[in-house]
Amino acid sequence: MSLFDLFKKSDKSSSNSERDLAKLAKHLNSRLSQDLDRYDALERLSAMGTKESARVLLSRFRWNLDPSIRDQEEKATAVAGIAKAGTAALEPIQEYCARAESLTWPIKALREIVSGADLERELLSILREFDTDYVRNPEPKVHVLQALEEFHTDATRIAVEPFVGDVNEAVRFAAVTCLFEVGLPEATEALVSALSDEESLRIRNRIAQGLADRKWPIPASLEEQIRTSLPPGYSLSGGLVMSHG
């Protein structure tokens, strides 16, 4: 067989593979597809275990199916299929998360592939795609901030701190909660600053109660600032926030 024939065979195989993926994607993402056709597409894509098949499986997270129990089952199957691609799926997951309406399922897939510091790194990479400006749908920010709560590191603290000043109240609440779960008192300055600017009583109470619960000392340079910012039911005594509720 000549070199030309080898290239021709390779090109034909690649073309067939692309057509197969396109056909499976069509079955997977049509609400009009029969259940058996979608399950067949899920199984065949899962068996491939490649970056390309993972990218197609991720697309199943974009839409919902009634009844919801079937939708959950299909998405769980997609997660397992994505995980079969291993680290090859990380790039498609990152690409998907950058434009997704929800990160619940792709983060589940991430957890099946990486853990510990590797998972933290992937989540921080997703968070870096966001800023604190207005977005129509804040849920992806909230989802990744919630996922980062388990990492008690300076890297996570530093990455999350700007989001206590996000335009969206739900994102700010998630960021404040994340910082308290991360549990590093170095976040005190960012939290006190947020308390001074915050209009939401829910968040002001969350910050005050968190500082009181953790007994994080307030630096002398911030005492006057926090004393005038604490919501009703809280005070500053001996450099600590006290709750009187």
Residues 189-244: tens digit of each pLDDT: 999 999 999 999 999 999 999 999 999 999 999 999 999 999 999 999 999 999 99
Phi, psi of 130 (to 5 degrees): -110, 155
Render pLDDT for 121-133 as a digit per residue (tens, 0 to 9).
999 999 999 999 9
Q: Taking all residues of the chain, what is their mean pLDDT, rounded to a whole number?
A: 94
> Taking Cα atoms as reference points, which of 113, 105, 110, 102 lies closest to residue 77?
105
Instruction: Report which secondary-structure segment, H or E, holds 100.
Output: none
The confidence band for 12, taking pLDDT boundaries of 50, 70 and 90, is: very low
Whether residue 6 has pLDDT greater than 50: no
Render pLDDT for 138-190 as a digit per residue (tens, 0 to 9).
999 999 999 999 999 999 999 999 999 999 999 999 999 999 999 999 999 99
Whether residue 15 has pLDDT greater than 90: no
What is the distance between the alpha carbons of residues 84 and 109, in angstroms, rounded to a whole number? Answer: 10
The confidence band for 13, taking pLDDT boundaries of 50, 70 and 90, is: very low
- Domains of the chain, residue spans: 16-113, 119-245
**Distances 25 to 18, 68, 77, 101 between C-alpha atoms, Å:** 10, 21, 15, 19
Tokens 């197969």 belong to residue: 20
The pLDDT value recorded for residue 5 is 52
Whether residue 73 has pLDDT greater than 90: yes
Record the tokens describing residue 178, joined without a space.
């994340």
The pLDDT value recorded for residue 174 is 99
The confidence band for 32, taking pLDDT boundaries of 50, 70 and 90, is: confident
Whether residue 8 has pLDDT greater than 60: no
Q: State pTM to two decimals.
A: 0.91
What is the distance between the alpha carbons of residues 115 and 193, in angstroms, rounded to a whole number? Answer: 33
